[in-house]
Amino acid sequence: MSRHHLSRLHGLQTFQYAVFSTIAAPLLFSACGGAPAAFSASYPDNDRSDIQLLIKRIQRAEEREIRSLAVGVTPGPSKLYAFDLKAQRVLWQRPTRTSITPVVAGDYVLTHEGSDIVGREVESGDSGFEIDDRNMTLVGADASEQLLALTLTKGSSSFADSAVYAIKSRSVIWKREFQGRVGSPAVIGDVVLVPWNHQNLSALNAKSGDEFARIRLKDNVVGHAFVHANKLFAGSNRLIFEVTSSLSSGLTRKSPYFELPERSLPGDPLLLPDVYSPDPIQPPDSGRHRIALGWRPAVVSLPGKSRIELQDNNLYLLFYRFVVAFEPATYSVRWIYTHPTDIVGAAVQAGGVLFADTTGYVGFLSATKGEKLWDATSGLTSSVITLRPDPVSQFSVTSESLRPDQLRGQLMVAVRDPDARLVPVRVLVVELLAALDDPESTSNLIEICDNRDATEQVKRAACQALAKRKVGADQVLDTLKRRANYLDGTTSPPVGALAQAAAEQGEKRAVALLIGHLKDPQTPAGELPRLVSALKQLQDHSAVAPMTDFLRLYHADAAEPQLIEALCESIDALIALSGPACAETLKEIAEDSMGSQAVREKAHAALQLLEQQKRAAEQLEKAKQAEQQAEAEQAQEEATAPKPEMPKRLSQEVVREVLLPVRDQMKSCLRKSPDRVFSARVLIMVDNGETSLVSVMPASLQRCIEPLVRSQKFPVTQLFGKENVAYTITLR
């Protein structure tokens, strides 16, 4: 296979070409009144018609044909190899000095070896072309319909220089250079899409390299353009979006998009690598290959609006030896797979995720359960493996998700893993267990919290979660029954967390067990403060005596800070449980010159508090008494005050006075009457002040006048019996 040392062979030509393309060509175009050169600052952006043209050209693109393979780099002596995933055979191996992870684009595998960007043919591993890097580094590459586009860059911000190369049939057919940072390109149909300077996405004619459309994003960074299922996407660290005509607004969210939730995942992996960092593509031996996200976009068309979802609605986190499938919107875990060795490459395809490990082993996990459905091995130890999955073929994957007990089993396998590097995920797994609202999860948390060999961070997370449990009281009680016993070979359980869980659940059955642990010298001092606090929270009076004994026995013998803390906590607990009844004990503690200073001060403060409470109670009592006294005096005054004189009988004068408040309303009844009535007569029977009968003439006014009459209170008269009175209403 012939080699093409393009830049070296044509150094002068390259320079002349560069001068032409960066200086002369734009001048020529502008002089002729044509469009500005590619990446020129004066190129119009977000032009609706330009972008619509771009979309049309994208839509005309043909589907790519992709061969599924794995390309890896072995550690010293470094070899680059390709492994055919379908045929399950190593296609070729070649010595390599690549400083970057191989990039697979179309029919080429790109590496950066010495000062050359080398393009090897996928089928043979032979060099197809070499390009002088000119001290730049490869940022990205893509290929379609025999055209390969690659981008190079060096420097940072405004001092950066970048280049875009288009290669066809092993030859550079055009090159564009500009000042600024370039991102990772995409090729679709006859269009090359190039992200650059964080905000811009330039569409170049694949044949000529001329820019014909530019999108400038106002709300997000863009570093990558990529093609999937014949659709064009772009994005950056946390967000991807489809390139559609809506982007003429400059707003990414006007187009279908997917964004990572705010919450970070262990290791803070990115959706797409940061191409604007000094190392856009990591070296083969970088540890960052072991922490990554796996995903593939899936555009869902809805009436009126489309949106981007992830393939199988899974976001995969690869973390050393774990593969975790998350529901992307909430990060709730669907499954977790634990692999025996480090995973150094992964790619998502329909129905699951393909992964590769350091031994050259490649496996496929189902999207729904994380079951291994397929595997193969190259047998080549690898630092990194780039996987290109088969976009068409699919494994038969069950649609059933894991049962809760199966998920719990997977979580527990992960959390028990002793690998210290996996701690962040194991802590996350503990949080996931804590989110499961069942007693079995409480048992799991107890197991982790109780494991003396567990990593401290994992154990701490489990104990914290256990302390907040609202279910699983029986599990908590069973564990609290255990005591340290040398002959039985048992140890003290994590009393503090269990005590808090019992308190959280208001589980008074725990009180006796907790008192047992309070008295047990094998209960670590560190557990005592939370134990005492739980006893206080449980509000069970049976804890008063043992807590008093505990306080008295150790108040002069407390050397450990945690014991002092527990003693101080017990003072609070005694006040909460027994109030002023504990004053005598507290006085004894506060005044003991041999007692621990901290405990004495606490007792003293508690006594002051009790005193304040006592004074406040006394004042309250005094105020109450004064109020009662005032009420009694008032009652006395009322009793002795002269009563108003009762009328002798219900005279017309008395009746008029009683009905005066409703007189106008009664007249209104007359006015509203359809019978044109000018007067009405009301007969009222009053029995000891109670109106027992109201009769109205004419009867048509009865319903209007009776309630008004009954609403008034007639006085009790000296007759103390029934009285009939008549009252006349006239309109005058």
Partner 1 sequence: MRILNRAKKNFKPGILIILSVVVVPLFSTLVRAQATLNDAVTQLNANDRGQVELGIQNLGMRGDPSGIKPLADRIRRGLPPDLLELSIMTLMALGDPSAGPVLFELAMHRRANIRVLAIEAVAAVNPPGGQGVLVAALSDGDAEVRSKAAAGLGEIGAVGAMDTLFRALDRGVLEASEAIGKVITANRVTDLLDYLNKLPLHSLGPALIQALGRGDVQTKSKLAIVERLGEVATPEVKNYLVDFLAQHGETAPPALVRAVRNTIQQIAD
Q: Which amino acid is at 548?
A: T
Angle, CA 675 vertex, CA 672 and CA 676 arms, to 5°: 70
**DSSP β-bridge partners for residue 239:** 259
The nearer residue to partner 1, 187 or 563, going by C-beta atoms, is 563
Closest separation in Å from C-beta 559 to partner 1: 8
Q: Which stretch binds partner 1 (CB under 8 A): 1-9, 239-247, 282-290, 479-487?
A: 479-487
Closest separation in Å from C-beta 562 to partner 1: 11
Closest separation in Å from C-beta 387 to partner 1: 54
**Rounded to whole angstroms, how far apart are CA atoms 527 and 539?**
19
Closest separation in Å from C-beta 432 to partner 1: 35
The nearer residue to partner 1, 65 or 560, going by C-beta atoms, is 560
Q: Which stretch binds partner 1 (CB under 8 A): 34-42, 110-118, 290-298, 481-489?
A: 481-489
Structure tokens, 263: 């919450």
The alpha-helical segments, DSSP class H, found in 137-270 are: none
Q: Is 556 in the site for partner 1 (CB under 8 A)?
A: yes
What distances in angstroms separate CA 647 from CA 650, 652, 654, 725, one per listed residue?
A: 7, 12, 8, 14
Q: Which stretch binds partner 1 (CB under 8 A): 438-446, 449-457, 553-561, 700-708?
A: 553-561
The nearer residue to partner 1, 71 or 495, going by C-beta atoms, is 495
Q: Which stretch binds partner 1 (CB under 8 A): 383-391, 468-476, 484-492, 689-697?
A: 484-492
Torsion from C-alpha of 68, 73, 78, 80, nearest 10 degrees = 20
Q: Which of 113, 188, 181 is nearest to 149 (CA)?
A: 188
The nearer residue to partner 1, 522 or 634, going by C-beta atoms, is 522
The nearer residue to partner 1, 487 or 639, going by C-beta atoms, is 487
Q: Which of 154, 120, 149 is nearest to 3 (CA)?
A: 120
Site map 250..289 versus partner 1, x via CB under 8 A: ----------------------------------------
Q: Which of residues 107, 121, 161, 549 is near partner 1 by CB under 8 A?
A: 549
The nearer residue to partner 1, 487 or 699, going by C-beta atoms, is 487
The nearer residue to partner 1, 285 or 549, going by C-beta atoms, is 549
Q: Which of residues 554, 602, 658, 723 is near partner 1 by CB under 8 A?
A: 554
Q: Are strands 231-235 and 239-242 parallel, antiparallel or unpaired?
A: antiparallel
Closest separation in Å from C-beta 88 to partner 1: 56
| Cβ-based neighbour number of residue 711 at 10 Å | 12
Residue 113 has φ and ψ, to the nearest 5°, of -120, 115
Q: Which stretch binds partner 1 (CB under 8 A): 4-12, 212-220, 279-287, 515-523?
A: 515-523
Closest separation in Å from C-beta 505 to partner 1: 28
Closest separation in Å from C-beta 555 to partner 1: 5
Closest separation in Å from C-beta 485 to partner 1: 4
Q: Which of 165, 167, 207, 205 is nearest to 182 (CA)?
A: 165
The residue whose two tokens read 């009683």 is 658
Hey, is 418 helix, strand or coil?
coil
Buried b (16+ CB within 10 A) or exposed e, 267-290: bebebbbebbeeebbbbbeeeebb
Q: Which of residues 298, 373, 484, 716 is near partner 1 by CB under 8 A?
A: 484
Q: Which of 495, 501, 394 is nearest to 441 (CA)?
A: 501
**Rounded to whole angstroms, how far apart are CA atoms 67 and 24?**
41
Structure tokens, 437: 């609202």
Q: Which stretch binds partner 1 (CB under 8 A): 24-32, 75-83, 478-486, 630-638?
A: 478-486
**Rounded to whole angstroms, how far apart are CA atoms 384 and 258?**
27
Q: Is 481 in the site for partner 1 (CB under 8 A)?
A: no
The nearer residue to partner 1, 167 or 532, going by C-beta atoms, is 532
What distances in angstroms separate CA 320 from CA 106, 287, 365, 418, one per listed residue?
A: 29, 9, 16, 13
The nearer residue to partner 1, 56 or 519, going by C-beta atoms, is 519
Q: Is 485 in the site for partner 1 (CB under 8 A)?
A: yes
Cis preceding-peptide flag for 266 (omega within 30 of 0): no
Structure tokens, 14: 């390259």
| Cβ-based neighbour number of residue 486 at 10 Å | 8
Q: Which stretch binds partner 1 (CB under 8 A): 42-50, 327-335, 551-559, 630-638?
A: 551-559
The residue whose two tokens read 């006796």 is 512
Q: Is 452 in the site for partner 1 (CB under 8 A)?
A: no
Q: Which helix (H) or strand (E) holds 306?
A: strand 306-310
The nearer residue to partner 1, 215 or 599, going by C-beta atoms, is 599
Closest separation in Å from C-beta 523 to partner 1: 9
The nearer residue to partner 1, 180 or 595, going by C-beta atoms, is 595
Closest separation in Å from C-beta 81 to partner 1: 57
Q: Is 478 in the site for partner 1 (CB under 8 A)?
A: no
DSSP annotation string for 441-466: HHHHHHHHHT-TTS-HHHHHHHHHHH
Q: Which of 388, 402, 410 is nearest to 323 (CA)?
A: 410
Closest separation in Å from C-beta 546 to partner 1: 11
The nearer residue to partner 1, 93 or 491, going by C-beta atoms, is 491
Q: Which of residues 216, 552, 667, 710 is near partner 1 by CB under 8 A?
A: 552
**Rounded to whole angstroms, how far apart are CA atoms 256 and 95?**
43
- Return the CA Rg of the chain: 43
Q: Which of residues 431, 520, 657, 690 is near partner 1 by CB under 8 A?
A: 520
What distances in angstroms separate CA 229 from CA 271, 288, 307, 349, one per listed residue?
A: 18, 28, 15, 11
Structure tokens, 313: 């609605």
Closest separation in Å from C-beta 375 to partner 1: 48
Question: DSSP code of 715?
Answer: P
The nearer residue to partner 1, 594 or 639, going by C-beta atoms, is 594
Structure tokens, 44: 């119009």
The nearer residue to partner 1, 62 or 557, going by C-beta atoms, is 557
Q: Which stretch binds partner 1 (CB under 8 A): 69-77, 398-406, 521-529, 719-727?
A: 521-529
The nearer residue to partner 1, 5 or 587, going by C-beta atoms, is 587
Cβ(731)–Cβ(678) below 8 Å: yes
Residues 487-506 that bind partner 1 (CB under 8 A): 487-489
| Cβ-based neighbour number of residue 298 at 10 Å | 17
**Rounded to whole angstroms, how far apart are CA atoms 319 and 269?**
9
Q: Is 561 in the site for partner 1 (CB under 8 A)?
A: no
The nearer residue to partner 1, 73 or 582, going by C-beta atoms, is 582
**DSSP β-bridge partners for residue 724:** 685
Q: Is 522 in the site for partner 1 (CB under 8 A)?
A: yes
Closest separation in Å from C-beta 529 to partner 1: 14
Site residue total, partner 1 (CB under 8 A): 26
Site map 67..106 versus partner 1, x via CB under 8 A: ----------------------------------------
Closest separation in Å from C-beta 586 to partner 1: 13
Residues 567-606 that bind partner 1 (CB under 8 A): 588-589, 591-595
The alpha-helical segments, DSSP class H, found in 505-660 are: 510-519, 528-538, 544-554, 561-578, 583-591, 597-640, 652-659
Closest separation in Å from C-beta 607 to partner 1: 16
| Cβ-based neighbour number of residue 579 at 10 Å | 13
The nearer residue to partner 1, 155 or 516, going by C-beta atoms, is 516
Positions touching partner 1 (CB under 8 A) are 484-489, 519-522, 525, 549, 552-557, 563, 588-589, 591-595
